Structure 1
Amino acid sequence: MGKKLGLAVIGVVVVGLIYYITAGSSQLTEQMKAQVNTELSSLQTEGFSVKGREIAETKEHFIITFDEPQKIAHFLTRQGVQMNVNDAALLKGLEVGVDVAYLDDTYSAVSFDMYPLALPTAITTSLKEEKDKKAFTQIEKMLKKKTFLMHIAVNKLGNGFKGYMNDIDETLEGEKNVDIKMKGLTFSGDIKNNIIHSVKQDLKLLTMQVPQEMLVSFENLKSDYAITGKTL
């Protein structure tokens, strides 16, 4: 169960990265590309690496890896995401794929799809050491089909954004099966002076169930956040 909850932590961190990278993307394509370049260069001084970058006229792709836990913990804390070094150490080895699209539709100046490609080393090692390898195999398949994809779009005025996470309906098989369902996770927010100012999140349904043993269920959750850390 701890490993499954670890996936939720990964989700929170991915959201934090989305907010960071998208902040300030308020100009037209070339200016936005320059902004993304600046933010990626900054990330590489904060414990992350950027690799596999492919750039086209209106889109690009790259992979962010989590390398140095201490730097990452300090960085995320400055962004308003409270995380200590021990927690950050559990994320070492995590790889997140990012697909960027510029002027993708009538709303978006720039949009980002972000999805884990590889789990943190600690989780991968633990799963491989278990007698039952089903969970590791299943999670690998989930990563390949981008089960945990999150999408965010920044509007053309550069003063707001909106996004969502793909619905999830999966069963992790093992000594005890765990059913996980999530539907309708959406979020939106305001940007002021190139800084994320506020975030609203809505979640229609989240359930985790071990049949005949445990059921945790949440419905129609709403939350509002004011970002206190600097995003740039």
Structure 2
Amino acid sequence: MARAALTREEVLAAAADLVRRDGPQSLTMRGLAAELGTAVTSIYWHVGNRESLLDALVERTVAELGAIRPAGRTPAARIVSVAVTLRRRLLDHPHLVAMVHERGLTERMFLPARRALVHEVRAAGLRGTRAADVVRAVQFQVAGHVLVERDRERAPARHPVEEEPWGARTAREDPALARALARPVAPERLFALSVKALVAGLLAEPAGEGRGRPSGPGRESGANGVSRAPYSH
């Protein structure tokens, strides 16, 4: 039975699978043709040369990452949800994300998340430079976490050190801390904890720019319902 006519989308899907499985370096026109059971000339017909194929894959990856829909009842919660979703998507597409980065299109890849963050930061009442700082800080937090997590995945197996970092005194005085530090890192939980703390601090109003009545010494109640401490640059 003859093979059905090959489509451009089938070529791109097979190329994306190759990159996911073996990394961008594995993507050759001959290898892709073999994967699809077709001639190399057919691949060229649908996607052009390898550079054109890579460009098309980048466009496809950006589209796959897609728009991010925030979730939550407050701007702070929705900002955190954007960060959590973005981290998950970047971790789910490591080779494709690396390919996007290598082709200098990382900013484009972050664009849907940035748009969502801008909307939520404005909903929290921030404007101008402070709003831009919040958007960028959250984006950097996500990117930094992803880089650390990817590095841990690629690193050789870690061997325990002779002396634990918390020391004998801490183990005696705070055994719960020692036990917690001895457990493996839970990256998802740690990320959620850190990004929530980051967002809470970033949304704190600067002194002298309050929109509500003070709720305590040096604190104000913000428009998003979060008790806010003075923000310092």
Q: TM-score, normalised on structure 2?
A: 0.29
Q: TM-score, normalised on structure 1?
A: 0.29
Q: Report which of the two has the higher share of strand.
A: 1
Q: Report which of the two has the higher share of helix.
A: 2
